[in-house]
């Protein structure tokens, strides 16, 4: 049986089609989910894609968190459903308290769009098992509100429990995709919940799954092959 991965579209979503394509490239079946529909259509996993849901009014992800689909998603994620939040999806996951902390505007107050160098910190989640810990990858980044923040206790818990999934690489030149692009604390680019089934990150792996698009690399594809392997082997 082919694994079915849902992709939620909110008003203002931009990357739902690209995300469904990435899922298809990985070998799974993408399923379109609408924000007003509580039915997840019996999917095996869900991706909250990038964009500017509800125009980022109030705060990025703050209104989308109250969409009907989120009632079901929150309940099922807490029960173990794998969920990936990309960019705006990451923002929604923090607003829904499925992931701790929050997102603020970039410290330089500008929208940023570039290929970004990351280090994989946790390769044991549902979405990262096809990476290796310490692996360095490059995938596109595009955001205005990408600065991850949390109180010191939360940061200490994330670090102590190995729940920082990805970190911005800062050792090289910004022109080469290095550096903290938005002021995120501890150079955090992505995190996971304690169970490892919910992951959020700001960069866009769906734009790096084929050599002819995005970075010209396929560094984002393991997100989608990771979850496919987990579902097939479950």
From CA 45, how far away is CA 221, in angstroms rounded?
A: 16
Rounded Cα distance, 201 and 85, in Å: 6
Question: Is 121 a catalytic site residue?
Answer: no
Task: Please pick, among 35, 49, 87, 207, the residue that the annotation labels catalytic.
Answer: 87
Helix (H, G, I), strand (E, B) or coil at 220: coil
What count of residues does the chain have?
234
Q: Residue 87 catalytic?
A: yes
Pick from 89, 33, 35: which is nearest to 60 by CA? 89
Out of 35, 49, 95, 206, pick the active-site residue.
206
Burial of 154-187, coded b for 16+ CB within 10 Å and e otherwise, reads bbeebeeeebbbbbbbeeeeeeebbbbbbebbeb
Whole-angstrom Cα distance, residue 169 to residue 172?
A: 8
Examine the residue annotation and report whether 35 is marked as an active-site residue of this protein: no
Which of 49, 121, 204, 207 is an active site residue?
204
The tokens describing 112, both together, are 């940023």
Q: What is the set of active-site residues?
A: 87, 204, 206
């Amino acid at each position: 049986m082919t694994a079915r991965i849902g992709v939620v579209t909110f008003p203002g979503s931009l990357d739902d089609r690209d995300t469904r394509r990435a899922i298809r490239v990985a070998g799974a079946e993408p399923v379109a989910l609408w924000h007003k529909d509580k039915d997840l259509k019996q999917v095996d996993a869900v991706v909250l894609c990038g964009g500017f849901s509800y125009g980022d009014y109030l705060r990025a992800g703050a209104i989308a968190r109250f969409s009907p689909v989120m009632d079901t998603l929150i309940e099922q994620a807490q029960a173990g459903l794998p969920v990936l939040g990309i960019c705006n999806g990451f923002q929604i996951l923090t607003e829904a308290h499925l992931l701790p902390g929050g997102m603020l505007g970039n410290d330089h107050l500008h929208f940023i769009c570039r290929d970004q160098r990351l280090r994989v910190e946790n390769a044991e989640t549902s979405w990262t098992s096809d990476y290796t810990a310490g692996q360095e990858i490059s995938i596109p980044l595009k955001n205005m509100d990408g600065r991850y923040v949390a109180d010191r206790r939360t940061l200490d818990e994330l670090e102590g429990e190995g729940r920082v999934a990805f970190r911005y690489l800062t050792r090289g030149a910004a022109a080469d995709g290095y550096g903290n692009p938005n002021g995120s604390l501890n150079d955090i680019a992505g995190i996971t919940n304690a169970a490892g089934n919910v992951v959020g990150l700001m960069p866009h792996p769906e734009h790096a799954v084929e050599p002819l698009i995005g970075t010209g690399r396929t560094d984002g594809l393991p997100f989608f092959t990771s979850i496919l392997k987990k579902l097939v082997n479950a």
